[in-house]
Amino acid sequence: MVVRRIPWSPPRRPCTVALCLLMSACGPRESPNAEASSAAEPEIAAANKTTPAAGAGAVDAAKVDAAEVDATRAARHQQAARRHSKEGRWQEAITEFQQASAANPSDGRLLCELGWTQFRGSERGEAAATLGRGIALLEAAMAVDDALRKPLGACFYNLGRVAEASVSPDAKVTAAEHYRRSLELRPGNSVVERRLAALTSGAEDGPAPTPTQALASMDCADGAGAKIDLAAWSASVRAHQGLPESFGPELTKLGLTGVADESFINFFDEEQTPAQVRAEVKRSALRLGEREASVVHVSLHDEDEGRAERVAVLLTRPSGELCLAGEILSGSSACEANCLSDGPPLSMSPVKLIAADVDALQVDVSSGACCGIERGGVIETSFYGIEGDKLVKYAEFTTMQTWYNSPHVPVKDTSATVELMGEFPKQLEVKTDTRCTFDCDEAALLAMRTRLTAASTDTERAAITSEIDEACGPGAAECEESSSLERYVYRDGAYHPVK
């Protein structure tokens, strides 16, 4: 069984094939702000390029291109960090955000995202300091760019959340000050207004638990479970999400309770109307020998803003109670869509992996970049299964990865196939291929690479690398074709490489 092989295909919306390869046809676009998942999207803009000249002119051109490369590197680390964040891998996300900020240290928005991620990863002291540095950078930058008011306001909101969670005696007072500052920058923001009202109302119990918090209390591993008042839960989802009224009955019919919380809708702009969001719910079953699990997939899509998805795997106890075996989260802004594939952002299918009478779950998550000069696509293929009463990830592979800078065609294209082999439990055979496509004459490329190898100084190497990337496409100086074959075996609840 071959799982996936994704070849190069023409770019997908929001541009046509011809327009997507012309930078002037689809320039950078600011993505919606997210209160609790990110402070703001980066604007990846093309630097004004000049023709390299001899002497100082060539060095200046190299510096311009080096800055552009740094911005691209920062954006890639940022996207990787967001993928980790959406799956709750906070330490991995922190590392990626740190690398993004190191590549582009003047961007305060990256520090705001890093600070929030540190907070979610229980590094609260570091979070407050990081957010403070991000705010200082954004306040200085806002003097010349008033468009930064919104990300600055989001950063103050995040700092308020950190302050509110601290044990300081004046925690509530400090948090309220940050929330008020956030509202000054973004008047009428309902998310911040609700948070400030709950903080200053004098209520000790705090805001009501979100649907996902209620679902988390039904963790199968803790022996918990519940018979759900479906109507009440669907009403709670509507209250937290601001979804169309029609979504509540859909949840009720499916027996779905609380697969979304307040951060779920925050992939979208908080000011959009509920009617702009299209909600879909799908339910399927997994055979687990004599047991059965329900897989419920909720998708929220907005054509202009992005998508957010949640997959809940629920086990039914003999008593009829439901319990949560685990969840899979995914989401992105419209500009983080896969520009090279028309497939769905998240797809699932059952596979026979461990035993003939036990279903595992294959999940393909598609993401990338489809706005600005940097385009590309990534597909992560994961295999999940139930071990005991818990959803576990057996293995994860990158089955597609291609990045390029418009108007160049992709230089480096990496794809993989995953094949199930042998008896149960199946072995996984992963074949990975990297191919290079150069947008220039091969003889000229060889001559420039020879000069690069012979270069004796960093400045000279940077100038030649810039020359190669300009003539043949970004990354052409380093792209090398390769193939590899790896095999993985199941052991102790996960797949491990055979050495």
By the 8 A CB rule, do 43 and 30 touch? yes
| pLDDT tens per residue, range 452-480 | 999 999 999 999 999 998 888 888 898 99
Supply the DSSP string of 183-204, one letter for each residue.
HHHSTT-HHHHHHHHHHHS--S
By the 8 A CB rule, do 358 and 392 touch? no
What is the band of 273 on the pLDDT scale with cuts at 50, 70, 90? very low
Average pLDDT, the chain: 74
d(CA 198, CA 184): 18
SS3 70: helix
| Of 434, 362, 364, residue with least CA distance to 402 | 434
Q: Out of 103-112, 219-228, 241-250, 414-423, which region has the weakest mean confidence (pLDDT)?
A: 241-250
d(CA 367, CA 335): 9
What is the band of 217 on the pLDDT scale with cuts at 50, 70, 90? low
Sign of CA dihedral 15, 21, 26, 30: positive
What pLDDT does residue 60 have? 55
Tokens 């803790």 belong to 222
Q: How many CB atoms lie within 10 A of CB 200?
A: 14
| pLDDT tens per residue, range 17-53 | 222 322 333 333 333 333 433 333 332 222 233 333 4
Per the rule left: phi > 0, alpha: psi between -120 and 50, beta: everything else, 302 is beta
For the chain, give every residue range classified as CATH 1.25.40.10.
32-206
**Confidence (pTM):** 0.60
| pLDDT tens per residue, range 118-132 | 988 878 789 999 999
Using DSSP bridges, classify how beta strands 427-436 and 482-491 pair: parallel, antiparallel or unpaired: antiparallel
Higher-pLDDT residue of 481 and 2 is 481
d(CA 318, CA 157): 45
Residue type, 442: E
What pLDDT does residue 468 have? 92
What pLDDT does residue 196 have? 86
| Of 493, 257, 258, 259, residue with least CA distance to 389 | 493
Query: What is the assigned CATH class of domain 32-206?
Result: mainly alpha
| pLDDT tens per residue, range 378-429 | 999 999 999 988 999 999 999 999 988 877 788 999 999 999 999 999 999 9
Tokens 């300081």 belong to 168
Per the rule left: phi > 0, alpha: psi between -120 and 50, beta: everything else, 28 is beta
By the 8 A CB rule, do 77 and 96 touch? yes
Tokens 């003999």 belong to 318
Residue 275 has pLDDT above 60, yes or no: no
Higher-pLDDT residue of 194 and 18 is 194
